[in-house]
Amino acid sequence: MLSETTPTSSQNLSDRDKAVIWHPFTQMQTAPSPIPIVRGKGSVLYDADGREYLDMISSWWVNLHGHAHPYIAQRVAEQLQVLEHVIFADFTHQPAIELAERLLTILPQNQTKVFYSDNGSTAVEVALKMAFQYWHNLGLPRYKVVALEDAYHGDTFGAMAVGGRSAFTSPFVPFLFDVDYLPTPVPGQEDAVLQKARELFTADVAAFIVEPLVQGSGGMIMYEPSVLNELFQMARQNGTLIIADEVMTGFGRTGKLFASDHIEEKPDLISLSKGLTGGTMALGVTTCTQAIYDAFLSTDKSKTLFHGHSFTANPIACTTALASMDLLLAAETQTAIQRIAANHTEFSQRLATYTTVRNIRQRGTLLAFEINVGEATSYFNTVRDRAYRFMLERGVLMRPLGNVLYMMPPYCTTNEQLQYTYDQVEDFLKSFS
């Protein structure tokens, strides 16, 4: 029964939620009640009590053009009237074909085939399976994988295995396949990492997987295109397949359409999701080179890529991706990306005046920094909860990764909204002095 006075009040919805729902990445015993969101518009979310929140993390990095975008909504509504879903083995449809064609025109030119799945983790799983089976099909099996420390590639088992080992993965370590790790080549560490890479990149490495230029969940750790380029070259010299996990960095976040656009040497496989549909639907994509695709062609059925999901290439999801791409490639969005980046750069200078702020870094629309008040930098740093609550009370949704604060706004975020957020961040910093 719904309550009679305020049938969808925050309290009512929170209570019902608590009774039946288990939330992601959430310690259910100590977590505060979830905030019921009833609507969104642009960069603003509205809760059941009418409170507003500026979504400065693009709802976990997926939203590009703002919430409930009318153009995406219209395209989805049209598609729903025509075809909601169809099996994707032995059948195909226009939205999937058109999306693949258009993705291949904007991705690095060595990418020639598109494989659909549902989310970022599956896009990574598919890339790994393509890489391993590529070597298997060639009759030259390779079993080693090189990844970066602090990497995050998703929460399914293969994706966890190639991620850095952390509190997130510790219960599962006995079940994860071994990976050789390179430290992340952050500024100042490049030579040491390249040194180690010379040892690790041997001719038996099947794949090298990275989040190019920005490690998201690891704490918005950033490194330079030049060193990544060198690592890619080293991997390639040994025939190792390069997997760029652009699930977070894709679709303009780093100031270019893809992080791979910042580097000369191109990956063999690319995983995409999150911003792919502008944050409207779950969809994942793995793209690959012709050479990888060709290694699966055979009259021998055992060389098939035996992988697929019920909702592979869902037409509604593909349509949202097409609509999102229209918006992304529009001149005004490209201008907005540069505008947000410029605002961040200016704010960085303000941030630099605080003695508690360390390690300010930016790549395109992504700005991150650490608050250092004694405790070591870590996901469990207690500054996290304090900052989260402080910003939320002032109507700004940020989700610090430990003491790493970052902003990843939708591209429609206005200068006023950015400035308001910056001001609240400064107020928070002042609370330490």
Ligand X SMILES: *Cc1c(COP(=O)(O)O)cnc(C)c1O
Give the nearest distance from C-beta 62 to ligand X in angstroms: 8
User: Measured between alpha carbons, how far apart are the two ends of the chain, in Å?
Assistant: 50
Give whichever of 211 and 230 is closer to ligand X, judged by the CB atom. 211
Of residues 248 and 396, the one with the C-beta less far from ligand X: 248
- Among 105, 103, 167, 122, which Cα is nearest to 322's? 103
The least distance separating ligand X from the CB of residue 228, rounded to whole angstroms, comes to 14
State yes or no: 22 annotated in a binding site.
no
Q: What is the DSSP string of 156-193?
A: SHHHHHTSPP-TTTGGGGGGSPP-EEE----TT-HHHH
Please state the closest distance from residue 423 (CB atom) to ligand X, in A: 28
- For the CB of residue 156, give the shortest distance to ligand X in the complex, in Å: 7
The residue number with the shortest CB distance to ligand X is 120
The helix (H) or strand (E) run that includes residue 347 is: helix 331-351
**Rounded Cα–Cα distance for residues 334 and 384 (Å):** 32
* C-alpha to C-alpha distance for 201 and 180, rounded to whole angstroms: 10
Q: Residue 285 corresponds to which tokens in the numbers above?
A: 């994509």
Q: Which residues contact 428 (CB under 8 A, 6 or more apart)?
A: 387, 390, 391
Smallest separation (angstroms) from ligand X to the CB of 220: 11
Residue 217 or residue 381: which is nearer to ligand X going by CB?
217
Measured from the CB atom, the residue of 13 and 407 that comes closer to ligand X is 407
Annotated binding-site residue? 60: yes
245 annotated ligand-binding residue: yes
Binding site for ligand X (CB under 6 A): 119-121, 124, 152-154, 211, 216-217, 245, 247-248, 273
Smallest separation, CB 374 to ligand X (Å): 29
The annotation status of 275 as a binding-site residue, yes or no, is no
Annotated ligand binding at 120? The verdict is: yes
What does the alpha-carbon distance between residue 251 and residue 381 come to, in Å, rounded to a whole number?
Answer: 31
The smaller minimum CB distance to ligand X, of residues 93 and 153, is found at 153
State the chain's maximal CA–CA distance in angstroms.
71
Q: Please tell me the number of Cα atoms within 13 Å of 209 on its side-chain side.
A: 35
Binding residue positions for pyridoxal 5'-phosphate: 120-121, 245, 309-310
Binding residue positions for substrate: 60, 152, 274, 308, 399
Binding residue positions: 60, 120-121, 152, 245, 274, 308-310, 399
